[in-house]
Amino acid sequence: MNRIVTLDEFIIKRQKDFPYASGELTGLLRDIGVAAKIVNREVNKAGLVNIIGEAENSNASGDTVQKLDMYANDKLIECLKNSGECCGIASEENEDFLALPSVESKSAKYVVVFDPLDGSSNIDVNVSVGTIFGIYRRKSDTKGKVQLEDFLQKGTELVGAGYVVFGTSTILVYSTGSGVNGFTLDPSIGEFCLSHKDIQIPDRGNYYSVNQGYYLKFDVEMRRYIDYCSDLNLRLRYIGSMVSDIHRILLQGGIFLYPNTRKFPNGKLRLLYECNPLSFLVEQAGGKGINTKLERILDMQPTELHQRTSIVIGSPGMVDEMKAFVEKYSTPTPYVAPTNGATTS
């Protein structure tokens, strides 16, 4: 029988691989792991208690019932506040960023961005949801409070990112820039155990993932590419929680697309909370993540916290192919004036 490696053990071992690491990032990752277990507990009993449903609803005993994504948001903030390694957070659920007070006068140097519960429309129907996070080193002076510039960093500046999928089992996947590893929660011992070592995304896969219901609202080159996927008999899978779709693609290969639509001319998904952390992980596993202007997601300069972007992400061979489609169909064929007496077809 293989020896079980827990998440904590793995993180500490990895820290030893970096001789000058101070342990702060290690501590932060462990605290995120703890928050994930707490959220997992609530997600698993969502059908049993009145935690599902709209925020500010009252339950039978008149208590205020909190929506699960707000609960996840609060728990993450609480864990990060207590950790002492994080000086600020920005969340999909909060309009502004939050400066965290220092713990025991320690000047923390990391900020964390997160989507506390991705795919929240799936909660009430028992379909996978997840938490996505990204970690940056702050830019501003550690003597003062965090500033907006600490959060508006390009994805290339991420020092770590990860996600947790609350699915048929609960899995935490993370990277600090040297490969991607996955840990499955063993509920009998309450520990995340290494289950997916050094994840490598296949060059191609059999799946494409897009909300095909918006087909007519996509640009022509996207429609052509989607037709092509269909012609190849690729299997369409779209969960409605990007984190779960990306998890499948990381393990089995494929492509995920959320292009511009008429309703969301700049794409719907959030650059800071969804696209950057997931692109970081996919790239770490050998994949690619670009927008429909064919720019690398991680190279995009964020200008606001809740910035949206289009995204095409997944197996490198498939993203390259989509890129070729866009280049082909969005370049108008140059007009060549007929020479005297010549005919054009």
| Interacting residues toward ligand AHG by CB under 6 A | 92, 115, 118-120, 211, 240-242, 268
Q: Is 63 a catalytic residue?
A: yes
- Comparing CB distances to ligand AHG, the nearer of 83 and 276 is 276
Q: Measuring CA to CA, which residue among 293, 311, 9, 292 is closest to residue 132?
A: 311
Q: Is 186 a catalytic residue?
A: no
> How far, in Å, CA of 32 to CA of 61, rounded?
32
What minimum distance in Å lies between the beta carbon of 267 and Mn ion?
Answer: 13
Would you say 158 and 134 are in contact if contact means Cβ atoms under 8 Å apart?
yes
Residue 211 interface partner, choices ligand AHG, Mn ion, none, CB cut-off 5-8 Å depending on type: ligand AHG
Would you say 31 and 79 are in contact if contact means Cβ atoms under 8 Å apart?
yes
Would you say 108 and 137 are in contact if contact means Cβ atoms under 8 Å apart?
no
Q: Pick the piece of the chain touching Mn ion (CB under 5 A) from 85-93, 158-166, 213-221, 319-327.
A: 85-93
Q: Which residue's Cβ lies closest to Mn ion?
A: 118
Helices vs. strands in the chain: H and E counts, helices first: 8, 17
Q: Among the options 24, 31, 85, 92, which is catalytic?
A: 92
Residue 252 interface partner, choices ligand AHG, Mn ion, none, CB cut-off 5-8 Å depending on type: none
> How far, in Å, CA of 27 to CA of 21, rounded?
11
The type of residue at 306 is H
Q: Measuring CA to CA, which residue among 145, 163, 144 is closest to residue 243?
A: 163
Q: Among the options 31, 85, 118, 221, which is catalytic?
A: 118
> How far, in Å, CA of 150 to CA of 234, rounded?
41
Q: Is 93 a catalytic residue?
A: yes
> How far, in Å, CA of 233 to CA of 38, rounded?
41
Place of tokens 């205020």: 64
Q: Pick the piece of the chain touching Mn ion (CB under 5 A) from 91-99, 144-152, 278-286, 293-301.
A: 91-99
Interior/surface letters 200-231, b for 16+ CB within 10 angstroms, e for the rest: ebbebbebbbbeeebeeebbebbebbbeebee
Q: Among the options 24, 31, 69, 283, which is catalytic?
A: 69
DSSP 275: I
Residue 205 interface partner, choices Mn ion, ligand AHG, none, CB cut-off 5-8 Å depending on type: none
Q: Is 158 a catalytic residue?
A: no
Spell out the alpha helix ranges (H) of the chain. 7-17, 24-44, 68-83, 148-151, 220-231, 242-252, 276-284, 316-330
Q: Count other C-beta atoms under 10 Å from residue 190's C-beta.
A: 10
- Comparing CB distances to ligand AHG, the nearer of 87 and 311 is 311
Q: Among the options 31, 274, 278, 298, which is catalytic?
A: 274
Give the DSSP H/E element, type plus range, for residue 135: strand 129-137
Q: Is 299 a catalytic residue?
A: no
- Comparing CB distances to ligand AHG, the nearer of 100 and 129 is 129
Residue 240 interface partner, choices ligand AHG, Mn ion, none, CB cut-off 5-8 Å depending on type: ligand AHG
- Comparing CB distances to Mn ion, the nearer of 234 and 239 is 239
Cα(first)–Cα(last) distance of the chain, in Å? Answer: 71
What minimum distance in Å lies between the beta carbon of 258 and ligand AHG?
Answer: 6
Q: Is 327 a catalytic residue?
A: no
Residue 241 interface partner, choices Mn ion, ligand AHG, none, CB cut-off 5-8 Å depending on type: ligand AHG
What minimum distance in Å lies between the beta carbon of 122 and ligand AHG?
Answer: 8
- Comparing CB distances to Mn ion, the nearer of 7 and 272 is 272
Q: Among the options 24, 31, 85, 93, which is catalytic?
A: 93
Residues 104-123 binding Mn ion (CB under 5 A) are: 115, 117-118
Active site residues: 63, 69, 92-93, 115, 117-118, 274
> What are the residues binding Mn ion (CB under 5 A)?
92, 115, 117-118
